Amino acid sequence: MSGTLHGVGLGPGDPELMSVRADRLVRGTRHIAFFRKAGRDGRARAIVDGMLREDAIECAMEYPVTTEIPLSNPRYNEVLSSFYADCTAHLRDLVDAGEDVVVLCEGDPFFYGSFMHLFTRLKDFIPVQVVPAITGMSAAWTASGAPITWGDDILSTVMGTLDEATLTRAMTDADALVVMKIGRNLPKVRRALEASGKAARAVLVEFASMDGQTVRALSEVAEDNLPYFSIIVVHGQGRRP
């Protein structure tokens, strides 16, 4: 009798924005696994603080590297692959022994999430269920206080890690924009926004739906480096009766 592995999206950070299903699974499941950076509490784990069963068994999966090795270095893939192999072996043992396991996922598990690395390695061997969630970008455009898309607007979601030419082309062709993974890429993102004619409409949202949420016009942002939880939105201007 196998258990089930649940990849549970927790949403953007506010526990009240978890789905009813996620809330039920988090509160009711004994085995709770989550990724975190070594030495940190873990962002996903922080969202469910105070919600776990008294007899919960937690499994912190600590990344061996985050930004210490550049993505382009083959070592990066090697180290991470071996890490994911260890994680999946442990999760598979639990599920094979009949246990249900919840993997806590920030945002939506299938949208730029780390869970997918477990999912692709496990889906053919054990039952895996995925609970979608409110994305960080939804929380960001909600915080911005205006609809992101209208009518037939094209919305593009781009990562600040892309090269400037690719960013500029994608930004030019879209009506509405979401930019994530900004961090130290802000100067490049800003140049691409300017080249695409969208800089004046860009809004920076930090810590959307969380304590410390801020919303500023990008033109008023002086710093060149942003925290992880930063999202730029550019609202569409489509048809509106």
Which positions lie near its own copies, rule CB under 8 A?
Answer: 11-12, 14-21, 23-24, 71, 76-77, 80-81, 84, 108-113, 116-117, 119-120, 123, 130-135, 138-139, 141-142, 145-159, 161-162, 166, 169-170, 173-174, 181, 209, 239-241
70 vs 98, beta carbon nearer its own copies? 70
Q: Which amino acid is at 200?
A: A
What CA–CA distance (Å, rounded) separates 22 from 8?
6
82 vs 97, beta carbon nearer its own copies? 82
Distance in Å, CB of 92 to its own copies, minimum: 18
Distance in Å, CB of 222 to its own copies, minimum: 27
60 vs 69, beta carbon nearer its own copies? 69
Pair of tokens at residue 60: 């912190």
Residue indicated by tokens 């960001």: 140
Distance in Å, CB of 69 to its own copies, minimum: 11
186, with CB counted inside 10 A (0-12, 13-18, 19+), is buried
Distance in Å, CB of 95 to its own copies, minimum: 18
57 vs 159, beta carbon nearer its own copies? 159
Distance in Å, CB of 16 to its own copies, minimum: 4
CA of residue 102 relative to chain centroid, distance: 17
97 vs 125, beta carbon nearer its own copies? 125
What CA–CA distance (Å, rounded) separates 18 from 48?
10
Cα dihedral 211/60/161/134 (nearest 10): -50
C-beta atoms surrounding 95 within 10 Å: 21
Nearest to 29, CA basis, from 9, 55, 61: 55
81 vs 219, beta carbon nearer its own copies? 81
> Do β-strands 176-180 and 230-234 pair in parallel, antiparallel, or remain unpaired?
antiparallel
What CA–CA distance (Å, rounded) separates 212 from 232?
16
Give SS3 for 187: helix
Distance in Å, CB of 144 to its own copies, minimum: 8
